[in-house]
Amino acid sequence: MNENIQKKKFLTVFKRPSSTEGVWSWITTVDHKRIGIMYGYAAFFFLLFGGLEALLLRIQLAKPDNDFLSAAEYNAMFTMHGTTMVFLVIMPISAAFFNYLLPLQIGARDVAFPRLNALSYWLWIFGGLFLYSTFIFGSAGAPQGGYLAEEIGWLGNAPNGGWFGYQPNAAFKYSPGTAMDYWALGLQILGISSLVSAFNFITTILNMRAKGMRLMRMPVFTWMTFAVAFLLAFSLPIIAIALFFVTFDRQFGTTFFLTEGGGDPVLWQHLFWLFGHPEVYILILPAFGIVSEILPTFSRKPLFGYAAIVFAGFGIAFIGFGVWAHHMFASAISPVAQAGFGISTMVIAVPTGVKIFNWLGTIWGGKISLKTPMLFALGFIAMFVIGGLSGVTHSVVPADTQQTDTYYIVAHFHYVLFGGAMFGIFAGLYYWFPKVWGKMYNETLGKLHFWLMMIGFNLTFGPMHWLGLKGQIRRTWVYAEETNLGFWNLVVTIGAFVIAISIIIFMINWIYSKRKGPDAPMDPWDARTIEWTIPSPTPVWNFSTPPEIESLDDFWHKKYDEDDEGRAVRKEAADQLLVDLEIDGLNPKEHIELPNPSYFPFILASGLPFLGYAIIYKSLALAGLGLLLLLIGGFGWALEPLEEEEIGESLDE
Amino acid sequence: MNDHGYPHEPTGVDTRKLGMWVFLSTEILFFGTLITTYLIFKGRSFDGIRLEEVYDIPFTSVSSFVLLMSSLTMVLAHNAIEKFDQERTNIWLLATALLGAVFLAGQIYEFTEFYHKGFTLTENIYGSTFYVLTGFHGAHVFIGVVLLIILWGVGQRQKGLSLDGGMNLEFIALYWHFVDIVWIVLFTVVYLI
Amino acid sequence: MSQAHKPHPTPKQYVQIAIILGILTAIEVALYYTESIVGVFTDPLLMILAVGKFVIVVGWFMHLRFENKLVNRFFAGGMILALVLFAIVMLERASANFFFS
Which domains can be identified in chain A, with CATH numbers? 31-58+72-263 (1.20.210.10), 535-595 (no CATH)
d(CA A31, CA A540): 8
Q: Return the ∠ at Cα A181 (arms to A176 and A187), rounded to 5°.
A: 145
Based on the fold, state whether residues C15 and C50 are members of the same structural domain. Answer: yes
pLDDT tens digits along A459-487 = 999 999 999 999 999 999 999 999 999 99
Question: How many other C-beta atoms are found inside a 10 Å radius of the C-beta of residue A481?
Answer: 11
Flag whether C87 is in a domain.
yes
Nearest to A270 by CA among B28, B45, C100, B36: B36
- Tell me if A235 sits within 8 A of A198, measured CB to CB: no
Nearest to B17 by CA among A636, C68, A108, A209: C68
Tally of domains within chain C: 2
Tell the CATH topology of B15-42+51-192.
Four Helix Bundle (Hemerythrin (Met), subunit A) (1.20.120)
Q: State the average pLDDT over residues C9-24.
A: 90
Based on the fold, state whether residues C60 and C34 are members of the same structural domain. Answer: yes
- Tell me if A110 sits within 8 A of A103, measured CB to CB: yes
Which of B16, B82, B184 has the CB atom closest to C54's CB atom? B184
- Tell me, what's the pLDDT at C41? 85
User: Given an 8 Å threshold on Cβ–Cβ distance, is B6 in contact with A199?
Assistant: no
Based on the fold, state whether residues C72 and C58 are members of the same structural domain. Answer: no
The residues, any chain, with a CB within 8 Å of residue A542's CB and separated by 6 or more, are A103, A104, A108, A109, A110, A534
Based on the fold, state whether residues C12 and C46 are members of the same structural domain. Answer: yes
Query: Please, how many CA atoms are within 13 Å of residue B112, restricted to the half-sphere of its CB?
Result: 6
Based on the fold, state whether residues C24 and C61 are members of the same structural domain. Answer: yes
pLDDT tens digits along A96-127 = 999 999 999 999 999 999 999 999 999 999 99
Which of A208, A244, A545 has the CB atom closest to B5's CB atom? A545
Burial of A566 (0-12, 13-18, 19+ CB in 10 A): exposed
Identify residues of A whose CB sits under 8 angstroms from chain C CBs: 206, 234, 264, 266-267, 270, 274, 321, 325, 332-337
Based on the fold, state whether residues C14 and C59 are members of the same structural domain. Answer: yes
Q: State the average pLDDT over residues B42-60.
A: 85
pLDDT at A146 > cutoff 80: no
> Annotated catalytic residue: which of A178, A194, A204, A299?
A194
Question: Nearest 5°: phi and psi at A643?
Answer: -80, 150
**Single-letter code of the amino acid located at B98:** L
- Tell me, what's the pLDDT at A359? 97
| Alpha helix stretches (DSSP H) within A404-517 | 407-416, 423-437, 443-469, 486-516
- Where residue A622 falls among pLDDT bands split at 50, 70, 90? very high
Flag whether C13 is in a domain.
yes
pTM of the model: 0.93
User: Given an 8 Å threshold on Cβ–Cβ distance, is B154 in contact with A639?
Assistant: yes
Flag whether C1 is in a domain.
no
d(CA A417, CA A448): 21
- Tell me, what's the pLDDT at A646? 30
- Where residue C69 falls among pLDDT bands split at 50, 70, 90? confident
The parent domain of residue C95 ranges over: 68-101
Q: State CA A344 to chain mean position distance.
A: 25
Strands A5-7 and A592-594, sheet pairing: parallel
Based on the fold, state whether residues C14 and C52 are members of the same structural domain. Answer: yes
- Tell me, what's the pLDDT at A104? 95
Based on the fold, state whether residues C56 and C91 are members of the same structural domain. Answer: no
Based on the fold, state whether residues C49 and C95 are members of the same structural domain. Answer: no
pLDDT at A596 > cutoff 90: no
pLDDT tens digits along B66-103 = 999 999 999 999 989 888 888 889 999 999 999 999 99
Based on the fold, state whether residues C74 and C53 are members of the same structural domain. Answer: no
Q: State CA A251 to chain mean position distance.
A: 30
Domain-wise residue ranges, chain B: 15-42+51-192
- Tell me if B161 sits within 8 A of B86, measured CB to CB: yes
User: Which residues of chain A make contact with C96, given a CB cutoff of 8 A?
Assistant: 266, 332-334, 337
For A454, B13, C7, C62, the CA distances from C4, given in Å and listed in that order, are: 58, 11, 9, 17
Flag whether C33 is in a domain.
yes
Sign of the CA dihedral with B18 first, then C72, A104, and A592 last: negative
Identify residues of B whose CB sits under 8 angstroms from chain A CBs: 1-7, 9-11, 13, 15, 18-19, 22-23, 25-27, 29-30, 33-34, 37, 40-41, 44, 46, 121-122, 124-125, 128-129, 132, 150, 154, 157, 164-167
Sign of the CA dihedral with B28 first, then B30, B34, and B36 last: positive
- Where residue C2 falls among pLDDT bands split at 50, 70, 90? very low
Based on the fold, state whether residues C45 and C73 are members of the same structural domain. Answer: no
Flag whether C37 is in a domain.
yes
Mutate to test the interface with C, among A334, A341, A343, A344 (most CBs of C within 10 A): A334
Write out the H or E segment, with its range, that includes residue A242.
helix A220-251
pLDDT at A11 > cutoff 50: no
- Tell me if A438 sits within 8 A of A536, measured CB to CB: yes
pLDDT tens digits along B151-172 = 888 888 777 777 665 557 888 9
Based on the fold, state whether residues C57 and C90 are members of the same structural domain. Answer: no
- Where residue C79 falls among pLDDT bands split at 50, 70, 90? very high
The single-letter DSSP state of residue A315 is H
Q: State the average pLDDT over residues A549-569.
A: 88
